[in-house]
Amino acid sequence: MRRLYSGGWVVTCDDAGTEHPSGWVLVEDGWIAAVGAGEEPAADERVDLGGAVVTPGLVNTHHHLYQTLTRARAQQADLFTWLRELYPVWAGIDAEAEYAAARAGLAELALSGCTTVFDHHYVFPRGRDGLIEAEVQAARELGVRIVAARGSMDLGASDGGLPPDELVEDVDAVLADTERIVAELHEPGAGALVQIAVAPCSPFSVTRRLMKESAELARRLELPLHTHLAETHEEEAYCRELHGCTPVEYLADLGWLAGDVWCAHCVHLSEGDIDAFASSGTGVAHCPTSNLRLGAGVAPVPDLVGAGVRVGLGVDGSASNERSDLLLEVKQALLVARGRGGPGAMTAREALRLGTRGGAAVLGRDDIGSLEAGKCADLAVWRTDVLELGGAEDPVAGLVLSAPHRVDRLVVGGEEIVRGGALVQADEAEVARAHRAQARRFAT
Ligand SMILES: [Zn+2]
């Protein structure tokens, strides 16, 4: 089955940054067969895009889907205060709530043009099984590609950690459960719809032993490694007190500065830290809205990109960025870069690249993130005849600068999962209703 998407402004995000103002994308059996302009290839089906912009599907590199259940809490708190208020609420999570939360969060992301979602789940109350399985099921039903992290916390308050003792786990149990989930769910190789990552939560909620043994496990199973890092000044002070060094020095000591690792936030990095990330190949998930919402600061993204660091974008959890809209995050990345470094700090196309190619690189995926022959057929189609794009002679810059927008059509592995701005495989109103019913269980 060959389907031709034609008559669109095709933004390939290939190495050369090629765009075809009147171009086409040929999709065959879930993969991109060809991209171009001019004479169209033969196809079984032809879809006229009517001048819409076509971009690679966006790639989200940091999230906590369960947090859609607890939005707009601790509204003016810093990170540690916010976490202390929310940990006891999150202790109520179970598979039913996780499923509803994931459906809502993934639906919202899909409608913002996101085809691949990384989720970092690290709250595992005792006796509540099936949490990762629930979010993977939600992703499969909606048709979104997911990289689900088996996160973890093992440093409770009584040992000097931030989370309450009832939310931390035993190291051996974490590692055994991670291996079990990998065996059950992880798909290796190009085109994978479900992958698993290993992700101990943060320097202030995880022991050295769990950090080290998580890395050993991930490297044995060839899985990517992820954690939170250098988000706030408070975290740095905590790290100095607990470990006697900065968060980045701590990571280096653990063998975590490496090409199979990416870290969320990285707001507070020195020039030396940026060099260490660049020389080791360590990646960064930039989450500008969450960092602004918690007053944490702004990551030095143009400096990171300039040094050659892999950088992707993340909406982060919905309790610290109440909106799971990745195109909005593309715009936000541009705005915070300019707020910090002036109008020349980042172009609209550079921001879009962070949300596509950058995200794919951060997740260690070379099968997604650009529109090129041989890549997964993951496409986002954006209408240009909407109110907010009128007068935008450059529709690509207009798309970013006037974001957010609801995606018109979203294709994942050749399957259309959004059409006409609506979910194809779920009823949006029903997803929202089911989510509200579960969220009521977490009311205080
Ligand atoms: Zn996070």
- Tens of pLDDT, residues 422-442: 999 999 999 999 999 999 999
Q: How far is the CA of 317 from the centre of ligand 1 (A)?
A: 6
**Are the C-beta atoms of residues 378 and 363 closer than 8 Å to each other?**
no
pLDDT in tens, 368-396: 999 999 999 999 999 999 999 999 999 99
Average pLDDT of the chain, as a whole number: 97
Q: How far is the CA of 307 from the centre of ligand 1 (A)?
A: 24
Q: How far is the CA of 316 from the centre of ligand 1 (A)?
A: 5
The average pLDDT across 133-142 equals 98
Query: In which residue are the tokens 């974008």 written?
Result: 313
What integer pLDDT is reported at residue 444 of this predicted model? 82
Q: How far is the CA of 384 from the centre of ligand 1 (A)?
A: 33
pLDDT band of residue 415 (cuts 50, 70, 90) is: very high
Asked if the peptide bond before residue 203 counts as cis, ω within 30 degrees of 0, the response is: no
Cα(43)–Cα(31) distance, rounded to whole angstroms? 14
Q: How far is the CA of 391 from the centre of ligand 1 (A)?
A: 37
Asked if the peptide bond before residue 404 counts as cis, ω within 30 degrees of 0, the response is: yes
What integer pLDDT is reported at residue 187 of this predicted model? 98
What integer pLDDT is reported at residue 134 of this predicted model? 98
pLDDT in tens, 38-79: 999 999 999 999 999 999 999 999 999 999 999 999 999 999
With a pLDDT cut of 90, the percent of the chain lying above it is: 99
What integer pLDDT is reported at residue 240 of this predicted model? 94
Cα(118)–Cα(229) distance, rounded to whole angstroms? 17
Cα(340)–Cα(301) distance, rounded to whole angstroms? 10
Q: How far is the CA of 244 from the centre of ligand 1 (A)?
A: 24
With a pLDDT cut of 70, the percent of the chain lying above it is: 100
Q: Helices 131-142 & 171-185, crossing angle to 10 degrees?
A: 30
Q: How far is the CA of 413 from the centre of ligand 1 (A)?
A: 27
Q: How far is the CA of 63 from the centre of ligand 1 (A)?
A: 6
Q: How far is the CA of 85 from the centre of ligand 1 (A)?
A: 16
What integer pLDDT is reported at residue 242 of this predicted model? 86
Q: Comparing C-alpha atoms, which of 58, 63, 136 is closest to residue 404? A: 58
Cα(248)–Cα(253) distance, rounded to whole angstroms? 9
pLDDT in tens, 78-98: 999 999 999 999 999 999 999
pTM greater than 0.95: yes
Which amino acid is located at 294 in the chain? L
pLDDT in tens, 287-329: 999 999 999 999 999 999 999 999 999 999 989 999 999 999 9
The average pLDDT across 223-245 equals 94
